[in-house]
Amino acid sequence: MDKVCLNCDGTLEGRAGKKFCSDYCKSNYNYEKNKQKESSLFRKIDLQLKLNRRLLKEFNRAGKATVRQEKILEEGFNPKYFTNYWKNKKGDVYLFYS
């Protein structure tokens, strides 16, 4: 009987104790498992990133809006949670919340 991956149910090849067919499946399985925990760090970060994205979308409907920092912070935006950053040649840093 062939063993199957715990994440995607794909057939496993290789060593006897193997549980996942790839690093992606192992990472995804553990992410989904930990996401279910109530106080999980993954869950807290994920919820904050979703809130940040929603608020930016709300405040920036026209494309290039300027919003007072106090106003967006009052709504729950947390600038410490971002997904990427880019630094140009002048040294200006741009944060991305995608």
pLDDT bucket at 96, cuts 50 / 70 / 90: confident
Q: Find where tokens 């997904």 sit.
A: 83
pLDDT tens for each residue of 27-64: 999 988 877 776 778 778 888 999 999 998 888 887 77
Quote the distance between the C-alpha of residue 50 and its chain's center: 9
Same domain membership, residue 92 and residue 48: yes
**Are 57 and 92 in the same domain?**
yes
Please tell me the total count of domains within the chain.
2
Contact 93, 85 (CB under 8 A): yes
Question: Above 70 in pLDDT, residue 1?
Answer: no
Q: What one-letter code names the amino acid at 32? A: E
Q: Are residue 89 and residue 50 in the same domain, yes or no? A: yes
- CB–CB of 52/77 below 8 Å? yes
Q: Both 62 and 89 in a single domain?
A: yes
Is the pTM higher than 0.75? The answer reads no
Range of the domain at 10: 1-36
User: Is residue 53 domain-shared with residue 75, that is, in the same domain?
Assistant: yes
Both 47 and 31 in one domain: the answer is no
Average pLDDT over every residue of 21-28: 93
Q: Are residues 51 and 82 in the same domain?
A: yes
What confidence tens digit (pLDDT) does each residue in 2-11 have?
789 999 988 8
